Amino acid sequence: MASTETASGGLLGHLTHNIQASGRNPTRVMIGFVLAWAMFALIMWVFPRPEGLKPEGMTVLAIVIWASIMWVSEALPVGITGISVPTLLILTHALPWAKGKPPLGQVFAGFTGHVVWLCLFAFMVGAIMQLLKLDRRIALAILDKVKASNVGRVIWGFFGINVLLAFFIPAANARAATLLPIVKGVTNLLGDSPEENEAKKAIVIQSLVYGTMICGVFIMTAHLPNLIMVDIFSKAGKTIGYLDWALMQFPYLGMFVLTQWWVRYHFKTKGIEIAGGHSKIQKMHKDLGPMSRGEWTLLLLFAAIALLFAMGKGSPIYQLHSLQLGIIGLIGMLVLFTPGLFPFKWKEVQDRTMWGTFLLLGGAITMTAAMSKSGLAAFLADIAHGWVVGQPWWMVLLTLMLATHVIRIGMLSNVAAIAMLAPIIFALAPRLDLHDVALTLLVCDTDTYAYLLPTQITAAVIAYGSETFSTEDYAKAGWVCILIAVAYGILIMAPWYAILGMPVWDPSAPWPFAK
């Protein structure tokens, strides 16, 4: 029947049917696909090249716009768009060829650097953790420990869970998906009074969105944009270790106190108890039984790898080796699949590993490198320079942060946004006589807190799928949290970076993490 209907609708009907069958919006997908290629063609062959932009920069711009539209519309799977970036770089000769051969080392830079392998190791640890149900055990253990009997305790309990899971599960959307059934189980204990419905909104938004994003910035491997920035910094000779990153970013955890204050006030959750909440959570925790040998094995293995992360070159604890983080991740994968350690088939792990996100990250890193090598990042930095030149450092930050949030209204992918933004900000900093790493971190970190629409962050899309809150509810709570994030960056994080030796106002400061 379905095949007859699609046949009668011709090619367009056939395509529409297949897109719907894949769970996507045909209008959005088709418009995005056509628009991406149309803009690519216009930039490549129709639009005049701006003065000051080299031909290869114009070509890379066409690829960046193409990839951005594909990522925003999800016309192609995000991983396919990611792997298509190096493909287009080769086909368009965006980076100079040598002796008739493409510069494969450059166009696949995102897949040959150590950062993506660190990420893949984290993905596989997360996959095995889900198979063992260790993520659920950790979540219920923390909620049981904090005696989550009211809304405030529940939210703080889930924040603690987010902090811990950030070490194991490397993407905010994966953590949100992991916690969604547990959060739903807790909110189902509340009634349907207006006050309790508001409390449900507070729990879901804080636990699945704000908590996951804030914790993601803290741990290097917990948020893919972190790895994009680390790669840019390392190529400029400014290496950041696993502990260095945590030291730089841990004050962001304090921002949750402020968002919790606002959410508690906005949704009026003070004093709202969850009837039978703690006893129900305690029962769910006990029903899991004692920890299995596999769970203990994974915890011990991860602890050993984390220790290797912390004891690399320049370690403040003890330097045991000089291996890059990604190499340690590859060693971790080798050990992870030692025969007999875990009772899972490879296909089970494979099905839960985020291969699409892995390809997205590699493509995004390749794109940032191409923007720098082609001169596109420097050209766009020159344009941005005209907007903020002559302003004090805090005004520069404020302007760039707010501009970032305006740009992000139409974008779902935080990774795609940072892939475009980070190389531009990094190139802009010297022109403004500001510290390149500090400025890039401050501006790009605020991009993570795009809380205006649920469609701006994948974790928020997952939370929105719980049908607990409306877009209006989210926006009314979110705009204040965006302002909190901007103010926190300027008033708390900028001084903290200065204490560490990275004052945003001093580009000549020696690199504090020199090995």
Q: What is the pTM of this model?
A: 0.83
CA–CA separation, 121 and 98 (whole Å): 34
Residue 82 inside a domain? The answer is yes
pLDDT at residue 5, as a whole number: 47
Residue 15 inside a domain? The answer is yes
- Give per-residue pLDDT as tens, 148-181: 778 898 899 999 989 988 888 777 877 888 788 7
Of the candidates 186, 190, 177, 189, the residue with the CA atom closest to the CA atom of residue 463? 177
pLDDT at residue 1, as a whole number: 46
Residue 36 inside a domain? The answer is yes
Residue 54 inside a domain? The answer is yes
Amino acid 360 reads L
- Give per-residue pLDDT as tens, 245-301: 999 999 999 999 999 999 999 999 988 887 666 788 888 889 999 999 999 999 999
CA–CA separation, 272 and 149 (whole Å): 9
pLDDT at residue 176, as a whole number: 86
Residue 77 inside a domain? The answer is yes
Q: What is the mean pLDDT of the chain?
A: 89
Q: pLDDT-based confidence at 410, cuts 50/70/90?
A: low
Residue 12 inside a domain? The answer is yes
Range of the domain at 80: 1-107
Q: What mean pLDDT comes out for the span 430-455?
A: 93
CA–CA separation, 270 and 152 (whole Å): 7
Q: What mean pLDDT comes out for the span 196-216?
A: 93
Residue 380 inside a domain? The answer is no
Residue 5 inside a domain? The answer is yes
pLDDT at residue 466, as a whole number: 80
Long-range contacts for 298-303 (Cβ within 8 Å, ≥24 apart)?
298/125, 298/128, 298/129, 298/132, 298/134, 298/342, 299/134, 301/332, 301/335, 301/336, 301/341, 302/125, 302/167, 302/168
Tally of domains in the chain: 1
CA–CA separation, 295 and 283 (whole Å): 20
**Residue pair 161/215 in contact by the 8 Å Cβ criterion:** no
